[in-house]
Chains A and B, each alone.
Chain A
């Protein structure tokens, strides 16, 4: 069964450093998302992406965040200057169709630890 994959599984970085989290969505999916989950808390939406542009972003997704689909398979989340409060699990998700009525497939996540 096709899966969303994410790398790395765990990233440790120092405050102020840039990190890039990588995702490979399911191959025939067209809609991509990033969510984050602070330890023990709920899953929070960051951004949705379609047709090489952001469809929607949350208030968490400020100027320090950016997303890119550099080629036909990868979808990346970049944090320019990490803060301690960016420490969380970051999940990539994809769906085949657009809109609120279609299930999203989540990747295994990248645990980001900012020290």
Chain B
């Protein structure tokens, strides 16, 4: 079945350093969604990418969707302690809205 893989599993950075997480799907995706889960919290939708090669920015966050629509990345510039949490990519599996989540990348930021 379809798999969504994310690396790295954990990342510890000093505040102010950059951070990147990578997401790969075993199949071509119609779109990819990114969610953030704070410690003890629930997934919160960040963004959706639809077009091949699409790049979207949200302040210090840059999201990319690969040309083949099988991979994606999230890059955070100059991390802050508020960026702490687990970042999940998720790809739709069918037309029913079912999302297949990656394993997530947990970001720790040292002040």
Contacts and interface: CB of A to CB of B under 8 A. Distances in A.
B37 to A, nearest CB: 8
Contacts, number: 71
A91 B104 contact: no
A31 interface: yes
Q: Interface majority SS on B: helix, strand, loop or mixed?
A: loop
Interface residues of B, number: 26
Given A100-B31, A101-B48, A108-B42, A43 B95 contact: no
A65 interface: no
A31 B88 contact: no
Nearest to A44: B101
Interface of A: 31, 33, 35, 41-45, 48, 50, 55-56, 58, 91, 95, 98-109
12 contacts: A33-B99, A42-B101, A42-B104, A44-B101, A45-B100, A50-B96, A98-B97, A99-B92, A99-B96, A101-B92, A104-B97, A107-B42
Given A58-B98, A98-B96, 20 more contacts: A33-B98, A42-B101, A45-B93, A45-B99, A45-B100, A48-B97, A48-B98, A56-B96, A56-B98, A91-B42, A99-B95, A99-B97, A100-B31, A100-B92, A100-B94, A101-B30, A101-B48, A106-B35, A106-B42, A106-B44
